Amino acid sequence: MRPRDRLRMNLRLLIPVVFVGCLLSFAGPASADDGATVHHFSVTYPGNLATCSGNRIEKAGANGFVKDVETCVTVIDVGLEPGTYSAVDLGWCSDYNAVIFDESACNLAISGHVTIGENGDDTFTWNVVAYYAHP
């Protein structure tokens, strides 16, 4: 089984857990000097499967973009070696929307990367920089 297929299978197995509910908190938006708006977010998935926090950066206009920069600490072992992977190839959904296991509502990354590291205590850290087609 390819790593990407294994990742998707592992993530799909967690769908029912997410429907139990999640705690999602947002701080107020802030504007950057370049016209971008920054929204801090954090989400803890049920059973402490993962805790993620980061910033959603949105900029409108001709060179507009939607970008998440975040760090997640998780007990989910997706079966990948530590390293950097394409957010697109992993099928990464934004944690800002807190619906990562609901494919119908998933805001899929259109570019970016996920760096996976092992913490040595049965947890993993995922550092994510991902871009999205819409907020």
Q: What are the sequence ranges of the domains in the chain?
A: 3-132
Residue 44 one-letter amino acid: T
Q: How many CA atoms lie within 13 A of 41 on its CB side?
A: 21
Look at residues 109, 100, 90 and name the one whose alpha carbon lies nearest to residue 18: 100
**Share in percent of the chain as helix, strand, coil (round to 5):** 15, 45, 40
**pLDDT for 10:** 44
Look at residues 74, 67, 69, 9 and name the one whose alpha carbon lies nearest to residue 36: 67
Yes or no: say if 56 and 96 are a contact pair by the CB < 8 Å rule: yes
Q: Which two tokens stand for residue 74?
A: 């998780």
What single DSSP character describes residue 83? E
User: Which pLDDT band, with edges at 50, 70 and 90, does 9 fall under?
Assistant: very low
Q: Distance between CA atoms of 116 and 5, rounded to whole angstroms? A: 17
Look at residues 89, 128, 130 and name the one whose alpha carbon lies nearest to residue 109: 130
Q: What is the mean pLDDT of residues 66-79?
A: 95
Task: Examine the pLDDT at 11 and tell me if it is beyond 80.
Answer: no
pLDDT digit string, tens, across residues 99-133: 656 677 888 999 999 999 999 999 999 999 999 99
